[in-house]
Amino acid sequence: MSSGRVYRFTPAKEQQAHHLFVFLHGCGATAQSMIPIAFKFQARFPTAALVVPSGFDPDARGGAAQDWYPTRGLNCDNHRERVAAVLPDFEDLVRREQTNFGVTASRTVLVGFSQGGTLALEAVKSPGIAGAVVAFSSRYARLPACGARIGSRIHLVHGAFDSVVSRVYAERAARVLEGLHVPVTLDIVEDLGHALSHHAISLGSLRLLQGIYEGRRHTIH
């Protein structure tokens, strides 16, 4: 298995990294496709280090485009198993980058689009990986079980007209997470399909900023 290239960017002005943001591309895409999105987040978080890895399944489509897990024959029954198979490698990657940049799990954020968002959502079902997830046009492989304890803030951003991953998945996930008392936000972007727009990215980074501020406020009082 080839993990492909990993692109790393230090904080703006070479400051000490206060946060680590890991950006996960969509199905059949490349790490490079997420670099412009990463810089848009860094504009709002100048002390964040950025890590943009390539998917773990380079054979799915051939060439430079990669997936995180195989999509051929993917269905509701095997989705969770396929994600679970790559989670250990993904968690190793995140922990390695946390060590590299000297950033704790609580200050780590996973930002994913589509399949990358699914990987992020499933990863934080286990504690101690990341403090927050921003998932664009994503869905759980399997919704969190009743009584699950998720220690991360979850920010869902979804296109109203997404025909690849229906907004219904995001709406259902938000309801389940609220029922589990997980801090969650859901933004449905009008006139957007299965894509990342400037407005969607701005919403995702804004919700993240608001969540971090809210977390600090609770810590102070």
- Would you kindly state where each structural domain of the chain is located, as residue ranges? 6-220
Pair 155, 184: CB distance under 8 Å = yes
- The C-alpha atoms of residue 130 and residue 56 are separated, in whole angstroms, by 20
Query: DSSP states of 196-208 as a string?
Result: --HHHHHHHHHHH
pLDDT for the residue 1: 31
Beta partners for residue 156, in sequence order: 135, 186
- Whether the per-residue pLDDT at 3 is higher than 60: the answer is no
Mean pLDDT of 37-41: 96
Q: Which residue has the higher pLDDT, 14 or 115?
A: 115
Structure tokens at 33: 């496709």
- The C-alpha atoms of residue 151 and residue 61 are separated, in whole angstroms, by 35
pLDDT in tens, 58-82: 555 445 567 888 777 777 778 888 8
- The C-alpha atoms of residue 35 and residue 3 are separated, in whole angstroms, by 17
| Active site positions, annotated | 114, 162, 194
pLDDT in tens, 90-137: 999 999 999 999 999 999 999 999 999 999 999 999 889 999 999 999
- The C-alpha atoms of residue 102 and residue 203 are separated, in whole angstroms, by 28
- The C-alpha atoms of residue 104 and residue 111 are separated, in whole angstroms, by 16
- The C-alpha atoms of residue 205 and residue 202 are separated, in whole angstroms, by 5
- Fold designation for 6-220: Rossmann fold (3.40.50)
Pair 40, 69: CB distance under 8 Å = no
The single-letter code of the amino acid at 31 is A
- The C-alpha atoms of residue 208 and residue 30 are separated, in whole angstroms, by 24
Structure tokens at 118: 């699914």
Q: Which residue has the higher pLDDT, 30 or 103?
A: 103
**Has this prediction a pTM greater than 0.85?**
yes
pLDDT for the residue 64: 58
The single-letter code of the amino acid at 72 is R
Confidence of residue 214 (pLDDT cuts 50, 70, 90): confident
Average pLDDT of the chain?
89
Sign of CA dihedral 5, 11, 15, 17: negative
pLDDT for the residue 108: 97
pLDDT in tens, 156-206: 999 999 999 999 999 999 999 999 999 999 999 999 999 999 999 999 999
Helices 115-123 & 79-101 angle (0-180, nearest 10)? 80
16 burial (CB, 10 Å; 0-12 / 13-18 / 19+) is exposed
